[in-house]
Each structure stands twice: as structure tokens, then as C-alpha cells.
């Protein structure tokens, strides 16, 4: 046993090693990415580990490994589960032989996501157990239990830490690393692995028969606990259980829910001993629904009657508001304060020298009244540059572009998609667009890495998750093989070539692909690439602010002239933009 | 109710707020005290405003409640103003004398605040404005500014100086240990008067 100060996701990664996981796959997504990022950098991981091209692919790979008797972990963010939902929903029918754990990291408040969906619903939908940790230690211990449960019931098990678990830190008690690994062997069993109707009807019945045993086992394992202390009670799920412990008066009972499905008999017994119940859980009112079902006359406070919000993440103050409203406390325990107003905002911004910026700039110049569907990645920040008109989910730039075009909209439609997102689910949209005669320009922003989630390699990086070289994927050949005839690759730092290529694309019809290729500046810096910085000659600068409008965070404006600070990475694009020729390479004296 | 000593460390993505909070976490481990923390990862780290929250002796959730923090360490003047409401009445504020203006300040056309404007806003008996970058540069590297700032705050932090310095050693790259130790001590020296 050892105590360390760790990030939630690092503690989870450690737990996977303690559980002796043999097979790991996933697709990066905040807040889940650091689990695999930790495991892929440890010396001798002793297991197969991969970043897969998307979540469905990752899930199916892990499922197959678990069918072969291995312990398999698959990680993704909550919206990734949508992509993996197809195999997920039927994998509970087929079940598994080796333990299989799905880590689905939820993001209440959408800190870094397109929605606030609740993965507990997916677990209920698929009828698999779901562990909902209240703390990092719970998440760590829960992983080990999850593998045991999975093997005991022959089912995949979900664990759904939220952002405030994945990205918080604490002093965590760690166990010993497991030694030795299983080698997969596939045992032919069509009645289990071939889900034709005749088999699946039986498998569904078997899945349902497992449910009561799961509910009881979760209580025995201590995931769901209750302490009776008075007439009034609080029932809290996930991290809310930690928040409430900080402020709960001594004479109020508390039940904490750390796993699903909840045993109704157990819940009814707790509820029946009280007169009033306040239910606290982020996002969907799942516990509240169960409580209302078993209640007989108790007063229930929750989301359904407005005591707590249905959206966003909770905090001790929001919970204190609910305690106050329900009459559990008589005064608010925290001061009322408000942030300073009128400050210049500091949202995230594309890095100085990021290749996406010049690409967006050129698109806007050439396609003046164009429509710009985009996708998910750092380049979504192109919104600030007015070059992102839609973003819905991974891979939906090309499909939205072709849909807009085929709807009869007459303006040019120019969409942007990153290399990783193109390989994730973008390529299907490209095949479809060509096949169905769309008239669009597709700009692939190829920086050779999955940047936003922390620079994970993808097939286009030519490196695997563990750092071994992999065969090169040719985006050009892929696009051509989909039937695209206009495929042009450009260096986005070469502004005149970029503008020229866009103009040529504008003249053509059909699906046109421009691949803008330049490594992500963060990756380039880590690899030791150096470019000369640029500077503004104050005497020549006319103060026209055109470079400021370009939006590079290295360019400031003081006393009516521009100035370049040391964030500059030397992409040279601003020098091409400046009409006065005031920006030039810095010469070291 | 609250037993923990709550520290907010705020700055701009990429400035090293996380490393500074790791030092506090390690120092707690060294003293066998419980600790909880929360931090910003993901998109905001691309030059956005970021925060690390650390609760020394923390036993519950990782989040600090606005209006109750005991100490605010800010790597940038503007971020100090942005997060000041997290401090309790009488809470200490240690601020780096540096102002990186967000691109939004130049494109909005609004008057751009200066270092002096903001320093005046922040001034008060519980505020120390420290030139951490200069201290770090003198100690050997401007990259050690985060550790210099921690040194400056160390008078207020309820952890032993030795534990903090050992925390620094554990968290910074091996080669830079002497520079960082030096930066910590010089930072500590700089606010002796408080
Ligand atoms: S991390 Fe890379 S891709 Fe993302 S904004 Fe920075 S340079 Fe661009
Ligand atoms: S050369 Fe100009 S545009 Fe490129 S990073 Fe430097 S300041 Fe920004």
C-alpha cells in the first residue's frame, strides 16, 4: 500500500494495472484521455494498448478481447458512448468471459463537450451495472471491483466518473500492481456470439435473469449505503455525496448511491423510515425516479419539483440552496459574493502560429459569403474568427455541408475537419457526398495529431499509442479513392499558395478536397523545431490593425502600433498580411 | 464546518499553475495530511483563463466555495481580479506583477487596462504584488516564476517550509532543482515584511 497525490484519471490508470488489465483501447475525449495517456507511457505496460480510430472500433476490439478471456478496458467521453452504442447495446446480450470495463467519463457543465448527457442512462438502457464514484478513491477502488463484477455476472460493467473526479486530485491509497497476464483464446460458441433472432431472444431473457443478483451484490459490496439519523433524509449520488457530507447537519439521515441498478427493496426500506427525502444527483433524475416509485406518502424534494437544477454541475453552494429551500437548514452557510464585472474575457484561443488560423483566414477571404460547417477539435475555436457556422458531433462537418448544399442553398459551402476527426467518422460523409453528387469544398486541417485532447497520436501520425512506428495513411489517396478528383495539398503557412488553391477550388464543381498540412505548433516545439520570431517595425507600422484582426495571440497593440510578444512561433503569416510591410523576421544582434 | 485551508491558484493556460498545485499536494503527503484539489484541463488550457483549487486538510469534495478561500495565488494581474471574489474576507492574495492581455482586449476597441490600473485596483493590506518573473530570472530561469510565487506565498501556507521545498524537488525536472529551490527562497524573502 502506498499513498500518492494523483489526478483522478492517473489513479484510475493505476487501478487498471492493479486489476491486471490485459487489453486497453479507447478514443481520446476530455475528460477521459489521461487514463490511456498514463498507461501508454508507463514502462512495461505488459498488455495490448491502442488508441483506436473511433469509440465503436475501440469498444468492439475490447469486447472481442474479453470474449477471448482477457480483462479489457475501453475508455471514452460520454458522447463517445453514442458512437459505441451499437455494440454496447448488444454486448450485454452476448456477455463476456474475461472482465470488460467501459469507462465513460461524463462532463456535467460541458466544460469541454457539446452536451451534458448522462451515461447512467446508457447503462440502464443496456442493462449493465454502472459504478458512479463519489471521489477519486472510489473511482480507483471501483475499477478493481468492476472487473470482479464483470467476471462474476459475465457482463460489461460501466464506470462513469465525472470531470470533477477525472480532473481533480487527492491523496490516494494505491495497491500492488498485478503480475502476469492472460493470453486470449477464442472458444467457438455461436449461441452466444452470433446474435441471430433465435439466439438473441434467449440471451435477452438470460440478461434479465441476471438483474436481481446484480442489485444485491452492489449492496453487499458497499456501493450503496445508508445511515439513519432522523426523520428527514438526503439521498445523494456520485460526487454530490461528497459535497453534501461537507454541510449536512448531524440529525439528518443519509444514503449514498455509488452504483446502479439500485435494489428497490433496500431503497424502500430506507425511504419508509423517513417523512421527508431530498434527492441530490447531477443531470438526470434517475435516483429521484426510483425514490418516487418506492415512496408511500413521503415528501420528496428533487429536480422534478424544482429544488435542484436539471442541468450543469453541482457545488456545495447549490446543494446548500436546496437544503435551505427544503427547510433542512435555516441559514445559508456560505457568503454571497459576485465576480468583478467588465473584465476583458480570456477564452481559449488557437495557439500563436497555429495552422488553422491562416486556413480560416483564407477561406473567409476567398469564400466571402460562404457557409462554414465545422467539426470537433482545436479548430472549433475558429468560431472566434467567424469561420465556424456549425458543430454538432464528431465527423459531422462533411455531412452537414452536403446536407446544406443539397437542400438547395445556393451559397458556397466550405467545411473544415481535422485529420483525426476525418479518420474517426468523417470519411463516411465524404463517400456519401461524392456518391450523392454534393457540391462542396472540404478542407482537411491536417496537423498530424489529435491535438485538443492532449496530442494523442492517430493513424496519420504514423506512431501507435505506445510509440512504435506504424504504416503511413495517405489522406490524398483515401480521398481520391472515394471518387474525389480535386485533391490539393498545401502548406497553410504559404498564404499566397493557400489563397490561390482556394480560388481554384471555387471555380470547380463537385466535391473538392484541400488538405492543409503543417504540424501542430505544440508538437513541433516539443520535437525541437525552431523558427525565427517575427517583429513589427514601429516606424513602418501604420496602425491599420489588419494583423490584430488576424487574431494571433502573439500580436498586441499599444500606442497606435502593433507589437509582437514572445508567444510568436514564427509562422510568418502576419508578415504576408501586413500591407505596409512592417512585419519582418527578427534578426538577432 | 470547514476545516481545510483552501488555496486558489489562477493564471493562463500554459503558465504552470498545475505544477504549483502539485507542490502543495506533495507537501501535504510529506506531512501526512489529507488534500483535495481540482484543476482545469482540456480546451481552456489553450491560452484560456485557468484555475487550480487545493484544499489542504481537505476531506470532502475538491471544490472551493466562492467567498471562502484562504489564499489566492495569481500568475497574472488580470486573473487576480477575475478570481478575487473566491477569497474570504481578510484572505491573502499573492500576485505576480505581470499582465498578459488577452487578444479580446485589443480587438474589442475598449480601453486596454495597464499594469498600474490593475495594481491600484488590487492594492490593500492583504495583497502582495511580487515580481516573480524577475526573481526567477535572477535565480536562473524565468520558467521558475511559479515556484518563486509559491515561495512568496509560503508565509501564509500552513505547511512547513521544508515540506514545501521537498515538494518542489519532487515536482520539477531533475536538472532544474537548484534553480527552483533558489527561486522559492528568493520569493519567500521578497515578502518577508508581511
Ligand atoms: S494545440 Fe496545435 S492544433 Fe491546437 S490550437 Fe495549438 S497549434 Fe493549433
Ligand atoms: S509570425 Fe506573426 S502570425 Fe505567426 S506566430 Fe508570429 S506573430 Fe503570430
- The DSSP secondary structure of A489-523, one letter per residue, reads EE-TT-HHHHHHHHHHHHHS-S-EEEEEE---HHH
Mean pLDDT calculated for residue range B128-143: 95
Spatial neighbors of A13 by CB under 8 A, at least 6 apart, are A34, A35, A36, A38, A39, A42
Are A503 and A538 part of one and the same domain?
no
**Ligand 1 atom closest to A452 (CA):** 4
CATH number of the structural domain spanning residue B166:
3.40.920.10
For ligand 2, atom 3: residue with the closest CA: A574
Residue A532: C-alpha distances to residues A539, A566, A581, B132 (Å): 21, 11, 17, 27
Residue A349 is predicted with a pLDDT of 93
Residue A448: half-sphere exposure toward Cβ, Cα within 13 Å = 14
Residue whose C-alpha cell reads 467539426 in the numeric block: A375
CATH number of the structural domain spanning residue A156:
3.40.50.970
| Residue A444: strand, helix, or coil | strand
Cβ–Cβ contact A344 with B under 8 A: yes
Q: Tell which of A476, A508, A526 closes a domain.
A: A526
Residue of B nearest to A377 (CA): B43
Q: Which of B172, B167, B185, B173 is nearest to B30 (CA)?
A: B167
Is position A552 annotated in a ligand binding site?
A: yes
Residue in B29, B37, B102 closest to A168 by CB = B37
Residue in A4, A337, A556 closest to B85 by CB = A337
CATH number of the structural domain spanning residue A566:
3.30.70.20
Residue A445 is predicted with a pLDDT of 98
Report how far ligand 2's centroid is from the alpha carbon of B13 (Å).
19
Number of domains within chain A: 4
Contact yes or no for B39 and A167 at CB 8 A: yes
Residue of B nearest to A561 (CA): B106
Q: Where on the phi/psi map is residue A46: left (φ > 0), alpha (ψ -120 to 50), or beta?
A: left
Whole-angstrom distance, CA of residue B51 vs CA of residue B44: 10
- Any idea what DSSP says for residue A350? P
Q: Does the predicted model carry a pTM greater than 0.90?
A: yes
Is position A547 annotated in a ligand binding site?
A: yes
For ligand 2, atom 4: residue with the closest CA: A571
Sheet holding A48-51, edge to edge: A48-51, A23-26, A72-77, A100-105, A157-159, A130-131, A259-260
Is B193 a residue whose pLDDT tops 60?
Answer: no
Are A205 and A245 part of one and the same domain?
no
Chain B contacts in chain A segment 530-549 (CB below 8 A): 548-549
Are A241 and A302 part of one and the same domain?
yes
Are A289 and A200 part of one and the same domain?
no
Could you tell me how many helices (H) and strands (E) chain A has, helices first?
22, 22
Residue B3 is predicted with a pLDDT of 86
CB A92 within 8 A of CB A65: no
Residue whose C-alpha cell reads 440471451 in the numeric block: A203
**A338, part of any domain:** no
Residue A74 is predicted with a pLDDT of 98
Q: Tell which of A220, A242, A277 closes a domain.
A: A220
Chain A interface, mutation test: which of B58, B68, B103, B120, most A Cβ atoms within 10 Å? Answer: B103
C-alpha distance from A146 to closest chain B C-alpha (Å): 23
CB A237 within 8 A of CB A206: no
Neighbour tally for A209: CB within 10 Å: 9
In three-state form (DSSP H/G/I as H, E/B as E, the rest C), the secondary structure along A99-168 is CEEEEEEECCCCCCCCCCCCHHHHHHHHCCCEECCCCHHHHHHHHHHHHHHHHHHCCCEEECCEHHHHCE
Question: Chain A partners of B88 at a C-beta cutoff of 8 Å?
Answer: 335
Report how far ligand 2's centroid is from the alpha carbon of A585 (Å).
10
Strand partners, A583: A536
Q: Which three cell numbers stand for residue A99?
A: 472482465
Is B185 a residue whose pLDDT tops 60?
Answer: yes
More confident residue, B117 or A353: A353
Contact yes or no for A349 and B84 at CB 8 A: no
Is B67 a residue whose pLDDT tops 80?
Answer: yes
Residue A1 is predicted with a pLDDT of 74
Spatial neighbors of A194 by CB under 8 A, at least 6 apart, are none
For ligand 1, atom 4: residue with the closest CA: A378
Q: Where on the phi/psi map is residue A329: left (φ > 0), alpha (ψ -120 to 50), or beta?
A: beta
**A373, part of any domain:** yes
Residue B105 is predicted with a pLDDT of 84
| Successive 10-residue mean pLDDT values, chain A, 589 residues | 94 97 97 96 89 98 98 98 98 98 97 96 98 98 98 98 97 94 96 98 98 98 97 98 95 98 98 98 98 97 98 96 96 92 89 97 98 97 96 98 98 98 98 98 96 93 94 96 98 98 98 98 93 96 95 93 94 97 86
B45 pLDDT tier (thresholds 50, 70, 90): confident
Ligand 1 contacts CB of residue A521 (under 6 A)? yes
**Residue to substitute in A448, A450, A522 for testing ligand 1 pocket (most ligand atoms within 8 angstroms of CB):** A522
C-alpha distance from A28 to closest chain B C-alpha (Å): 11
**Ligand 2 atom closest to A555 (CA):** 7
Contact yes or no for B102 and A169 at CB 8 A: no
- Any idea what DSSP says for residue A390? B
Residue of A nearest to B34 (CA): A171
H-helix or E-strand containing A311?
A: none
Are A8 and A96 part of one and the same domain?
yes
Report how far ligand 1's centroid is from the alpha carbon of B106 (Å).
21
Contact yes or no for B42 and A553 at CB 8 A: no
Q: Which of A47, A41, A55 is nearest to A23 (CA)?
A: A47
Kindly tell me the sign of the dihedral angle through the C-alpha atoms of A370, A375, A381, A384: positive
Are A283 and A397 part of one and the same domain?
no
> Using CB atoms within 10 A of its CB, is residue A331 exposed (0-12), middle (13-18) or buried (19+)?
exposed
Residue A397 is predicted with a pLDDT of 98
Are A52 and A140 part of one and the same domain?
yes
Report how far ligand 2's centroid is from the alpha carbon of B149 (Å).
30
Number of domains within chain B: 1
Q: Which three cell numbers stand for residue A519?
A: 504540424
Q: Which three cell numbers stand for residue A79?
A: 458522447
Q: Which three cell numbers stand for residue B133?
A: 518573473
Is B194 a residue whose pLDDT tops 60?
Answer: no
Q: Which three cell numbers stand for residue B62?
A: 475538491
Report how far ligand 2's centroid is from the alpha carbon of A542 (Å).
18
Strands A23-26 and B5-12: unpaired
Domain that includes residue B85, residue range: 5-190
CB A429 within 8 A of CB A397: yes
**A471, part of any domain:** yes
Ligand nearest to the CA of A533: 2
B125 pLDDT tier (thresholds 50, 70, 90): confident
Ligand 2 contacts CB of residue A260 (under 6 A)? no
**A35, part of any domain:** yes
Strand partners, B35: B56
Are A307 and A362 part of one and the same domain?
no
Domain that includes residue A542, residue range: 534-585
Angle in degrees, CA B107, B108, B110, rounded to 5: 125
Report how far ligand 2's centroid is from the alpha carbon of B107 (Å).
16
**A335, part of any domain:** no
Are A266 and A164 part of one and the same domain?
no
CB A113 within 8 A of CB A312: no
Are A366 and A497 part of one and the same domain?
yes
Q: Which three cell numbers stand for residue B11?
A: 493564471
Phi, psi of A68 (to 5 degrees): -90, 10
Amino acid at each position: 500500500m502506498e499513498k500518492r497525490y494523483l489526478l483522478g484519471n492517473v489513479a484510475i490508470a493505476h487501478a487498471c494495472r492493479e486489476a491486471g488489465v490485459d487489453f486497453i483501447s479507447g478514443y481520446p475525449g476530455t475528460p477521459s484521455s489521461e487514463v490511456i495517456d498514463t498507461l501508454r507511457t508507463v514502462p512495461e505496460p505488459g498488455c495490448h494498448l491502442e488508441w483506436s480510430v473511433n469509440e465503436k472500433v475501440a469498444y468492439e476490439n475490447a469486447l472481442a478481447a474479453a470474449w477471448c478471456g482477457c480483462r479489457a478496458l475501453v475508455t471514452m467521453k460520454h458522447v463517445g458512448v453514442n458512437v459505441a452504442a451499437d455494440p454496447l447495446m448488444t454486448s450485454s446480450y452476448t456477455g463476456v468471459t474475461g472482465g470488460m470495463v467501459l469507462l465513460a467519463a461524463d462532463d456535467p457543465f460541458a466544460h469541454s463537450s457539446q452536451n451534458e448527457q448522462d451515461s447512467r442512462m446508457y447503462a440502464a438502457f443496456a442493462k449493465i451495472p454502472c459504478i458512479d464514484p463519489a471521489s477519486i478513491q472510489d473511482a480507483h477502488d471501483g475499477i478493481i471491483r468492476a472487473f470482479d463484477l464483470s467476471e462474476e455476472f459475465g457482463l460489461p460493467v460501466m464506470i462513469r466518473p465525472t470531470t470533477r473526479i477525472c480532473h481533480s486530485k487527492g491523496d490516494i491509497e494505491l495497491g500492488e500492481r498485478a503480475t502476469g497476464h492472460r493470453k486470449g483464446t477464442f472458444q467457438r460458441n455461436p449461441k452466444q456470439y452470433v446474435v441471430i433472432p433465435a439466439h438473441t431472444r434467449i440471451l435477452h431473457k438470460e440478461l434479465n435473469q441476471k438483474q436481481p443478483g446484480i442489485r444485491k451484490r452492489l449492496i453487499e459490496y458497499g456501493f450503496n449505503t445508508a445511515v439513519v439519523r432522523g426523520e428527514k433524509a438526503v439521498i445523494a449520488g456520485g460526487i454530490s455525496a461528497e459535497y453534501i457530507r461537507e454541510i449536512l447537519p448531524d440529525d439528518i439521515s443519509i444514503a449514498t448511491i455509488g452504483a446502479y441498478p439500485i435494489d428497490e427493496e433496500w431503497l424502500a426500506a430506507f425511504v419508509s423510515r423517513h417523512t421527508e427525502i431530498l434527492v441530490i444527483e447531477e443531470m438526470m433524475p434517475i435516483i429521484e425516479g426510483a425514490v418516487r416509485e418506492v415512496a408511500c406518502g413521503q415528501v420528496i424534494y428533487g429536480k422534478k419539483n424544482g429544488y435542484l437544477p436539471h442541468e450543469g454541475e453541482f457545488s456545495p453552494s447549490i446543494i446548500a440552496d436546496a437544503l435551505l429551500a427544503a427547510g433542512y437548514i435555516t441559514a445559508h452557510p456560505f457568503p454571497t459574493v459576485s465576480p468583478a464585472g467588465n473584465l476583458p474575457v480570456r477564452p481559449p484561443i488557437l495557439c500563436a502560429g497555429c495552422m488553422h488560423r491562416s486556413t480560416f483566414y483564407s477561406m473567409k477571404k476567398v469564400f466571402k459569403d460562404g457557409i462554414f460547417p465545422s467539426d470537433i477539435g482545436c479548430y472549433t475555436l475558429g468560431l472566434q474568427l467567424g469561420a465556424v457556422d456549425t458543430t454538432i458531433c464528431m465527423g459531422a462537418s462533411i455531412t452537414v455541408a452536403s446536407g446544406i448544399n443539397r437542400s438547395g442553398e445556393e451559397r458556397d459551402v466550405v467545411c473544415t475537419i481535422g485529420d483525426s476527426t476525418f479518420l474517426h467518422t468523417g470519411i463516411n460523409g465524404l463517400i456519401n457526398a461524392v456518391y450523392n453528387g454534393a457540391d462542396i469544398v472540404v478542407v482537411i486541417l491536417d496537423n498530424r495529431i489529435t491535438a485538443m485532447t492532449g496530442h494523442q497520436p492517430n493513424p496519420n501520425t504514423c506512431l501507435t499509442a505506445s510509440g512504435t512506428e506504424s504504416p503511413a495513411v495517405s489522406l490524398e489517396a483515401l480521398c481520391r479513392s472515394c471518387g474525389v478528383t480535386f485533391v490539393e495539398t498545401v502548406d497553410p503557412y504559404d498564404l499566397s499558395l493557400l489563397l490561390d488553391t482556394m480560388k481554384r477550388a471555387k471555380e470547380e464543381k463537385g466535391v473538392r478536397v484541400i488538405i492543409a498540412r503543417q504540424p501542430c505548433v505544440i508538437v513541433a516545439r516539443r520535437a525541437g523545431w525552431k523558427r525565427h520570431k517575427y517583429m513589427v517595425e514601429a516606424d513602418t507600422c501604420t496602425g491599420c490593425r489588419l494583423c490584430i484582426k488576424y487574431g494571433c495571440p502573439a500580436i498586441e497593440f499599444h500606442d497606435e502600433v502593433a507589437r509582437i510578444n514572445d508567444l510568436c512561433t514564427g509562422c510568418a503569416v502576419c508578415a504576408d498580411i501586413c500591407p505596409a510591410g512592417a512585419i519582418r523576421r527578427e534578426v538577432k544582434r | 464546518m470547514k476545516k481545510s485551508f483552501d488555496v486558489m491558484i489562477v493564471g493562463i493556460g500554459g503558465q504552470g499553475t498545475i505544477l504549483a498545485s502539485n507542490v502543495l499536494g506533495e507537501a501535504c503527503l510529506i506531512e501526512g495530511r489529507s488534500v483535495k484539489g481540482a484543476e482545469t484541463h482540456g480546451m481552456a488550457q489553450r491560452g484560456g483563463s485557468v484555475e487550480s483549487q487545493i484544499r489542504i486538510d481537505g476531506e470532502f469534495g475538491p471544490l472551493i466555495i466562492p467567498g471562502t478561500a484562504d489564499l489566492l495565488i495569481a500568475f497574472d494581474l488580470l486573473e487576480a481580479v477575475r478570481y478575487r471574489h473566491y477569497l474570504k474576507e481578510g484572505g491573502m492574495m499573492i500576485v505576480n506583477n505581470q499582465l498578459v492581455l488577452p487578444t479580446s482586449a485589443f480587438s474589442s476597441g475598449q480601453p486596454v487596462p495597464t499594469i498600474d490600473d490593475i495594481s491600484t485596483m488590487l492594492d490593500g493590506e492583504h495583497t502582495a504584488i511580487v515580481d516573480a518573473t524577475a526573481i526567477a530570472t535572477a535565480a536562473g530561469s524565468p520558467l521558475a516564476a511559479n515556484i518563486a510565487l509559491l515561495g512568496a506565498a509560503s508565509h501564509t501556507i500552513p505547511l512547513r517550509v521544508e515540506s514545501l521545498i521537498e515538494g518542489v524537488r519532487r515536482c520539477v525536472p531533475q536538472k532544474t532543482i537548484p534553480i527552483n529551490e533558489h527561486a522559492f527562497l528568493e520569493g519567500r524573502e521578497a515578502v518577508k515584511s508581511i
